[in-house]
Amino acid sequence: MIVQIDSLLTIPGIVIAKDTMQIPVEKRFPKAIIFDMDGVLVDSEPYHIEVEKRMFQKVGVDVSDEEHASYMGTATDVMWRQIIEKRQLSHDEEEMTRLTNQEGIPFFSALEKLEPMPGLRKLLDFLENKKVPMAVASSSNPETVQIIIDKLGLRKYFRHTISSGSVGKSKPAPDVFLHAAKLLGVEPENCLVIEDSKNGIKAAKSAGMFCVAYGGASSESQDQGEADIVVDDFEKLTRLLFAED
């Protein structure tokens, strides 16, 4: 049964724009898939939030949960730049970014283990068997990305793991996705991105890529309206991507 809610049609587990009841034929069987990390591969957003809240308290900055959620998907330096500009603070953006990373890296290193999102490993195995090249494109700092990927035990699946801070502007700019496509040797229009945040979705669309929004974990606070399709189950995504009709 299909239920209309405002401008969207919903099916259990899937939210799709009214004129997009399935992934277009030309976007199925993608030549490359680029994954965001936080909120897509792993429910790590609560950890980032905890680290950042510690920093807010240390420097005496009051950031509401709503404002904090608006920074999801952006790099730490972008977050601090906006916080400082909004409040006209004298804090140094680079120093605040360095201190936040200094707080976060040992925090993530101390975690005994991280679990991938439900159904993710099955999807990755399927894509690997299909010989679909994959990469991770994250707004987290490079060292944190490596720590998390290793703790998840997912490194073997990805040809490249890329941090936006290493390639240019952070999301919502498209730089990290365009760089990932270049490394994979695939044109942007032939890449598919899996994201969860508003900023990440905007970056993927700005890169000219088909964007699937993952609607699980910590995505409840995110506006995913710009995505081409929203799914909350990786098995459903597999069926949609590789449908033969």
Average pLDDT over residues 216-238: 80
**Residue-level pLDDT at 245:** 59
Taking the whole predicted model, whether its pTM rises above 0.75 is answered as yes
Among 36, 43, 175, 233, which one carries the catalytic annotation? Answer: 36
Q: Which of 38, 77, 175, 196 is catalytic?
A: 38
In one letter, which amino acid is 62? D
Task: Answer yes or no: 36 catalytic.
Answer: yes
Q: Distance between CA 97 and CA 75 in Å, rounded?
A: 9
* CATH 2.40.50.140 is the classification of domain 3-43+115-241: no
Distance CA 13, CA 241 (A): 15
Architecture of domain 45-110: Orthogonal Bundle (1.10)
Q: What are the residues facing 160 on neighbouring strands?
A: 135
Length of the chain as a residue count: 245
pLDDT-derived band of residue 40, with 50, 70 and 90 as boundaries?
very high
pLDDT of 11 > 80? The answer is no
Would residue 175 show up in a list of annotated catalytic residues for this protein?
Answer: no
Instruction: Judge whether residue 37 has pLDDT over 80.
Output: yes
CA distances from 171 to 9, 74, 104, 175, 198 (A): 28, 5, 20, 8, 9
Q: Fold identical between 3-43+115-241 and 45-110? A: no
Q: Give the pLDDT of residue 7.
A: 35
Each domain of the chain, given as residue ranges in start order, spans: 3-43+115-241, 45-110
pLDDT of the residue at 1: 24
